[in-house]
Amino acid sequence: LFAGPVDFVKGVVAMDGLPPADRPEVCFAGRSNVGKSSLINALTGRKSLARASNTPGRTQEINYFALGQHGYLVDLPGYGFAKAPVAVVAKWQALLKNYLAGRPTLRRAFALIDSRHGIKDVDHEIMRLLDRSAVPFQVVLTKADKIGPRAMEATVAQVTDELQKHPAAYPELVLTSSDTGRGVAALRAIIAGLE
């Protein structure tokens, strides 16, 4: 699945701009700056396919990347970015909600959580949305390189516990670092298995 070419398809700002639902897709959701775009780059082995940035809220569209004809990786706009204008935030939220509820080819959502921070209120909000939309989701802990094993254990315990509140959640977490590559092959294998 990841052996062939990967191409940026388009940035989508409204539901009618989505590409035809003709192949399986997975999406990456999470707070601004959690590392969604960096993880897509790590997964595809392309340094700057998805635009990663220090500026939270960099990705403001639903960005589609094609794995040849076989599937899409979907980079969602980050949520919980307080500095964006209210009207802009409302528009993203509506798009996100409509996308998650109305995309028949969406096989799994990856809910990205910063290893250092664990699950926050806004994460629960998106997970509730995934529950309501019956989109199976799996938590990916990001930036694993930034904390030691003890702190990681604590995060894993907190997240595992909190996930019990979410019926659409898979209990298994994936621990990743886009910097060191930890967990990236494992995540690739999960995605390849969804086809």
Binding site for ligand GTP (CB under 6 A): 30, 32-38, 52-54, 56-59, 78, 142-143, 145-146, 177-179
Helix residue ranges, H only, the chain? 36-44, 86-102, 121-132, 149-163, 184-192
Contact between 155 and Mg ion by CB under 5 A: the answer reads no
CB of 71 to ligand GTP, least distance (A): 20
Cα 24 → chain centroid:
15
The single residue among 33, 37, 44, 177 that binds Mg ion, judged by CB under 5 A, is 37
Q: Give the separation between CA 168 and CA 180, rounded to whole angstroms.
A: 30
Query: Does position 59 bind Mg ion by CB under 5 A?
Result: yes
> To the nearest whole angstrom, how small is the minimum distance from the Cβ of residue 10 to ligand GTP?
16
Closest CB 64 distance from ligand GTP, rounded Å: 15
**CA 54 – CA 67 distance, rounded (Å):** 26
- Beta carbons of 37 and 58 less than 8 angstroms apart: yes
Which spans of this chain sit near Mg ion (rule: CB under 5 A)? 36-37, 58-59
